[in-house]
Amino acid sequence: MRRIPTLLFSLIVALYCLPTNSEVLSTPPIQLATQYQQDTVVAEYLVSEKLDGVRGYWDGSNMLTRSGRKVALPASFTLGFPHVAIDGELWLGRNRFEQISALVRRQQVPDQEWQEVRFMMFDLPQHPGPFSERYSAMKMMVEQTASTHLQVIKQETVASTEALFTILDGVVNAGGEGLMLHYQQAHYVVGRSEYIIKLKPKYDAEAVVIGHTQGKGKYRGKLGALVVKTPAGLVFNVGSGLSDKQRENPPLVGSIITYQYLGFTQKGTPRFASFLRERPSQ
């Protein structure tokens, strides 16, 4: 099977994410999380719920998606927002990702449809202090604004690994995705950072579809699996998690999917990779 070069993968992602009839500004300089490791000293971190929303970057005057698209927010939504950079999540509530994703992609939305949406702050990219100070500053921002849309994600200290996983179980059982851990003394760093950690029962990642395999048995005449490639060049099949409808009309070659997995095999392949969703065109 021909392998798609990493540069070509990036080009496909960029083209796929390019929105139509919407303004694309510069890609926001954001911090990205790493995965939880067993040797993490939990007491040194502040812990919060990982929200199932759409990441938003408030640059002081515009709300941008991760790809740099300007979100068409009504003026009433951002009234009172501070004129500083804020990293956060546009959120409707647990298990409502599809609704907030669709809302963010639309260019003309009645103001009332944004009433339930909250911009949940989780960091201040330009603040010079460590995360513990940035968290205090975010709480102060909420107190000083009359906006009902601007909120801060609650952070808490956790004494032990056992307590951390007890909290994780409670969040997941209530319909949440998982937890985020912020190292209290870390400064905001653009790019992948070892000082911000995600902890989930399952991890997720994105890959580009480069092919389809034919189904067998009950899936004869339908899709068997998606052949996908990661940004690092790893090629593997994703065959579980697809509905019958998706097998009849699978994501096209060149589209981007999100898949879930439980760690890696010894060969470095995602273990028990399962289709989660196709990335919406933005």
Alpha-carbon span 64 to 57, nearest angstrom: 5
Q: Which two tokens stand for residue 29?
A: 């300089």
Contacts of 172 (CB under 8 A, 6+ apart): 178, 201
Helices (H), the chain: 6-17, 75-78, 97-105, 131-144, 161-173, 244-248
The answer to whether 155 and 181 are in contact (CB under 8 A) is: no
Instruction: Please pick, among 50, 200, 222, 229, the residue that the annotation labels catalytic.
Output: 50
Catalytic: 154?
A: no
| Structure tokens belonging to residue 45 | 């971190």
How many C-beta atoms surround the C-beta of residue 1 within 10 A?
Answer: 8
Q: 244 in helix, strand or coil?
A: helix
Residue 76: count of CB within 10 angstroms of its CB: 14
Query: What is the C-alpha separation between 215 and 223, in angstroms, rounded?
Result: 5
Q: List helix spans (H) across 39-176.
A: 75-78, 97-105, 131-144, 161-173
Catalytic residues: 50
